[in-house]
Amino acid sequence: MTGKNTFLLLIFVLAGLITAKAQKDPEIVIVRPVEIFDVLNNPGIGFTTFQRFNGDELNEGIGWTEGLPIEYQPFDGDVTNKNYPQTTIAYFRVNWRFLETEPEQYNWEIIDKAMRIAAERGQTLMLRISPYEKSKEKDVPDWYREMVGEEEGLEGKHWNVDPENPLYVKYFGGMIKNLGQRYDGHPNLESVDISFIGYWGEGSGGHLLTDKTRKALINIYLDNFKKTHLIFQPLNGDPPDPSFLVKDTKVAAYWPNGSNNGTGPEMQHLGWRIDCLGDMGFNPGWGCHMLDIYPQHIIKSGMSEAWKRAPVTMEICGTFLRWKEKEKYNDETVEYIFGQALKWHISSFNAKSSPVPEEWNPLVNKWLNKMGYRYVLRKFTFPSVVSPQGQLPITSWWENKGVAPIYKDYVLVIRIINPDKEVILPACVDIKTWLPGDVVYDDNLYIPYDMPIGIYQLELGIVSPTTYKPMVKLAIEGVTEDGWYPMGKIEVKNN
């Protein structure tokens, strides 16, 4: 064979290889979604209602109610909140006396109804059972008061009863045990506060407990809530050592000196809460929460890294109207408070169902767009053609523009759909690990062997693991009415 013929043969071979490869490797569809900047009303983040639900009238003035059973308002079907953001969480705080009406006799309907109404209004229920408050009508249960009598000389300034009395662990602890056994993992229960001492269950005087009593009360929560998030409050500025309540428990906690409570599967990752966000000096006797107590105690308590595995939730000090009318906060002060909360990785905020002043709406909306998680899909690729029983390689680049991950077991899925067929392919990724910043997720999914030949729409969504209904809104354009995000057309055909 001459050199010329050899050259021509080589050209034909290369051309054949190129043609074969072109037939084998379909075009890659590249999608770069357009970011949006709307406030997204997503599960587990944002404002909460307090002793109320979406669509209810707000508190008037600078006051609020708590500790009592909910007084349900007439509902006309409109879940819109006036002068308050839309929410996905209803926070309910009720005192022990209303739940355990007789020894070991529990009025679960109080909680069942609150969860049912919350679900009807598009919310989950955040719950605290407070042991007592100051007033007689919010004291411990009457039957318990008869057992222990009027206890004098209590060590804690905000104590109604002696927590070292074995009856307290038996009955209050027994109520928490039964609460956990009934509700742990309930899909309509957002979280439960660890609450066992002091007015409103905020922990005042916790450092005065013996180790035996402290651990017994904490362990009742830890042992009976393994699925629902527990929220701890060791940050109220009361104990001389902020680590006291957390130390030597099975709560995952890490201190700046490198010490910790332990590692391993027996350790539980708890979220934390603060109940006086915005205190810039309301009461000189308190100290200043925003400038002294919180910045230091978050670190000294060992809980500064907890946000990576469990939610951080905060409650307003006073109300927004108090901030404006009594404290005379200006925009700069409000923005500073919001910025500190973001630094501490806030996911949800209880503003006590008190109106947001109209002039602060822009600051609130800006805050909401960073609170918790906020997913922007920057780039997504997939092949234009796939085959039954073949691979579907995808690549994706996401950005979490919030300050925290998601804490729910939702699933990223790909949906391939046309008028005749729908297939959902779960992605093999744990989105709870998507911390703030860039996330790259690539994978090879598989088309079912019996997938009908045809043209389909490829969509994605973050869905409930049980219903596969889209649950999380993305900060991108193009969502369908049922919550899916179309990426483009894909053809299924035989090789």
Q: At residue 431, what are phi and psi to the nearest 5 degrees?
A: -70, -10
315 and 405 inside one domain:
no
d(CA 90, CA 127): 9
Question: Residue 259: which CATH number?
Answer: 3.20.20
222 and 352 inside one domain:
yes
* Band (23; pLDDT cuts 50, 70, 90): low
> What is the β-pairing status of strands 28-31 and 375-383?
antiparallel
Question: Residue 476: which CATH number?
Answer: 2.60.40
d(CA 385, CA 66): 59
Which residue among 352, 368, 384 closes a domain?
A: 368
Which residue among 317, 350, 368 closes a domain?
A: 368
Q: Does residue 15 carry a pLDDT above 80?
A: no
181 and 316 inside one domain:
yes
122 and 80 inside one domain:
yes
Q: Does residue 8 carry a pLDDT above 90?
A: no
Q: Note the pLDDT tens digit of each residue in 358-369.
A: 999 999 999 999
d(CA 459, CA 377): 13
Mean pLDDT across the stretch 411-415?
98
280 and 390 inside one domain:
no
175 and 259 inside one domain:
yes
Containing domain of residue 422, as a range? 24-38+374-492
User: What is the tally of structural domains in the chain?
Assistant: 2
pTM: 0.93
Per-residue pLDDT at 339 = 98
In a domain, 153, yes or no: yes
226 and 348 inside one domain:
yes
Q: Note the pLDDT tens digit of each residue in 102-143.
A: 999 999 999 999 999 999 999 999 999 999 998 889 999 999
325 and 289 inside one domain:
yes
In a domain, 342, yes or no: yes
Q: Note the pLDDT tens digit of each residue in 369-385.
A: 999 999 999 999 999 99
362 and 433 inside one domain:
no
Single-letter amino acid code for the residue at 259: S
363 and 439 inside one domain:
no
CB atoms within 10 A of CB 37: 11
In a domain, 232, yes or no: yes
Using the 8-state DSSP alphabet, how is residue 195 labeled?
A: -
Which residue among 368, 398, 424 closes a domain?
A: 368
d(CA 92, CA 94): 6
